[in-house]
Amino acid sequence: MARVKSSTVALALVLLLMTLVGDCYGALEFGYYKKRCTKVDAEAVVFSVVKKHFNEDKDTVADLIRLQFHDCFVRGCDASILLEGQGTEKTAPPNLSVRGFEIVEEAKVALDRRCPGIVSCADIIILAARDATFLGGASWYKVETGRKDGRISKASEALQLLPKPSIPVPQAVKLFAQHGLNTEDFVYLLGCHTVGTSHCDNFQDRLYNFHNTGKPDPAMSGGLLKSLKKTCPRNTVSNNETFLDQTKGSEFVMDNGFFKKIMKGEGILEVDQQLAIHPLTKDIVRRAAEDNRVFTTKIGPAMRKLALVGVNTNGEVRLGTCKKVR
């Protein structure tokens, strides 16, 4: 999950959140489309599309979870990340590696054939992320629907508001709290790094020049350091990547492998490793590492809370495509 800068960003975030307060998600409800889209089961259509892609590519789990996070943390859960064009969120550096757009688009096209202009792209993102979380091994959870789609999408906002891999834990906790997410939610949402990968440029400083010390991050285990130096050689720009969960055999599974690894100094991103060390989060990490059911049952409620960030229920629904507004 990407990166953030302090005072300017905090101010920008406060101003943004002020535009999102009010009747944010009062009109949302479980099963919203059952009485509005009677010719087809909208949630079943989304699940079918996600499952097809999951069967073809297990990265689908990480892709769709990350897509929800990157959408909801900028302007709320309004599908603004899907809009194409110069200077849109999709073009911001933190979003260049975001995937899953074609899955949402496929579901939108399928739904609009039977129920045109009713199911929002914003809801499809939330439903698809829920389905991917479940297919990856977490417990099923219900989500409210009824979101509308946003018309504004700015790369500058994505660059400012998405947290960086090196964000300090206390600052991250405050950032998540401003979105209505508590410390446990923060830990479990970062626990989604039990699936997915990260490129060298997100952690290369930890290998060679941690916080300008000229040395590696002392919190990283020697074995992982040696391995990552082979993947990401010094003074090179590399497109190489590595799994965020170093547990062999469970890189695509929503389990507690990530928590076990960061307790051994085998976190890839700085913020991930700090979760296991910082007093605000280390006890939550320990409990999740000791019992797989903690993460698999609590990630759903955390994802549901994330899906309620800055919801727009008074806007429009894009017709035929999620890539542009009418």
Active site residues: 70
Query: In whole angstroms, what is the distance from residue 296 CA to residue 134 CA?
Result: 9
> Number of H helices and number of E strands within the chain?
14, 2
Among 49, 52, 40, smallest CA distance to 105 is for 49
- Cα 34 to Cα 29, 38, 115, 119, 146: the distances in Å are 11, 6, 11, 11, 11
296 annotated ligand binder: no
Among 59, 131, 57, 63, smallest CA distance to 97 is for 63
245 annotated ligand binder: yes
74 annotated ligand binder: yes
166 annotated ligand binder: no
- Cα 300 to Cα 17, 118, 127, 129, 191: the distances in Å are 24, 25, 12, 10, 12
CB atoms inside a 10 Å sphere around CB 30: 10
Q: How far is CA 274 from the centre of its chain?
A: 19
φ, ψ (nearest 5 deg) of residue 36? -115, -15
41 annotated ligand binder: no
193 annotated ligand binder: yes
CB atoms inside a 10 Å sphere around CB 290: 12
80 annotated ligand binder: yes
320 dihedral zone (left: phi>0; alpha: psi -120 to 50; beta): left
Q: Tell me the angle at which helices 42-56 and 60-72 cross, rounded to the nearest 10 degrees.
A: 130
249 annotated ligand binder: no
Element (H, E) at 242: strand 241-243
78 annotated ligand binder: yes
23 annotated ligand binder: no
97 annotated ligand binder: no
Which amino acids are annotated as binding site for substrate, given as ranges?
A: 163
Which amino acids are annotated as binding site for heme b, given as ranges?
A: 193
Which amino acids are annotated as binding site, given as ranges?
A: 71, 74, 76, 78, 80, 89, 163, 193-194, 245, 255
